[in-house]
Each structure stands twice: as C-alpha cells, then as structure tokens.
Structure 1
Amino acid sequence: MALTKPNQELRRDLKESAFSLEEAALDLFRMAKQRGDTELLEAMETIERLHEQADRLTAYAEEVKVGRIVRGKVE
C-alpha cells in the first residue's frame, strides 16, 4: 500500500527528528568525553534518554509505513 503524501511527510519528519536526536546524543557524548570521566558519566543518562526518544520516533515512522499510524485531515 502506497503512503499518501501527508503520511509520507509525517514519516519523513519522524525519521529526521530521530536522526537529529541521535546526532545531538553523539555531540553530547563527544563533548563529555573530552571533559573527563565524571562529566561523561553524568551525561550518559541524558544521552541514553536521547537515544530512547530517537528509537521511539523511528518506531513511529515504521508504524506510519505499515499504516498503523495515519495522518488525518486538519479540521
């Protein structure tokens, strides 16, 4: 089943958001790593949350792809 244009846009937006979160987590990891072990350990919780959110958005994008999530008309 082909996706409608609004659903294609939704899927693309979800995937782009997930990618941005992954990039932010990677940047945070690099910065914390340069500062030292203590800062890295403190940042790891935040990095983990960013990865979890990115994974959730990627899963939503897959649900859009298979038709479980559909963008409706704006009223």
Structure 2
Amino acid sequence: MPIPLTKPNQQLRRDQKEATALLKWPGVDIMQVATRLSEAGLGEDARILMKIAVSLQKAESKLTGYAEEMKAGGINRSKLE
C-alpha cells in the first residue's frame, strides 16, 4: 500500500510530471523533423536530431519512473545510479 505523500513530495511529483510532459512534445517534434530531413537526403543532420530526440525520450522515461516511485511512497537511493 502506498505511503501518503507529504505536501513537499506531492509538489515534487507534480513538478516531475510537468517536466516529463515538457520533454515529451519537443522530442516528438524533433523526431518528425529528423524524419523529414532523412527523407530529403540530409541524413547526417537527421542523425544528430534523432540523437537529441532519443536523449529527451530517455530523460522523459527516467522522470516518469521517479514520479511513479514518489506515488508509491518515495524515492530511496543508497548510492548514485
């Protein structure tokens, strides 16, 4: 059973969810531009943008995981990951 979140932790979870949403849409847009560049024969530019889009998706995924941990009762780390 999840532990009730304190007000500061509730705010942290909301902030994490907001940051996750802010990362999602630029990543989608960048991926679409990269696809168009690739189709136009600008493969190197497309690859650079795809790397950026993938890094945004990875950051989004991490933040989503952190928000879920907060929902479940908090984030506890014994060492840096």
Q: Aligning the two structures, in what range does the TM-score lie when normalised by the shorter sequence?
A: 0.7 to 0.9
> How many residue pairs align between the two structures?
70
Q: Which runs of 5+ in 1 are unaligned?
A: 71-75
Following TM superposition, by how much is the alpha carbon of 1:29 offset from its aligned partner in structure 2, in angstroms? Answer: 1.5
Query: In the alignment, which of 11, 14, 17 is matched to residue 15 of structure 1?
Result: 17
Letter paired with 2:31:
F
CA deviation map 1:2-37 (0-9, x unaligned): 212211110011011111111110111122233334
* Distance (whole Å) between structure 2 residues aligned to residue 35 and residue 55 of structure 1: 26
Letter paired with 1:68:
G
Matched, 1:5 2:7: yes
* Distance (whole Å) between structure 2 residues aligned to residue 35 and residue 66 of structure 1: 42
Query: In the alignment, which of 52, 56, 61 is matched to residue 58 of structure 2?
Result: 52
Aligned-residue sequence identity (percent) comes to 37
Q: CA RMSD in A?
A: 1.8
TM-score by length of 1: 0.77
Matched, 1:33 2:42: no
Q: Which runs of 5+ in 2 are unaligned?
A: 77-81
Matched, 1:67 2:73: yes
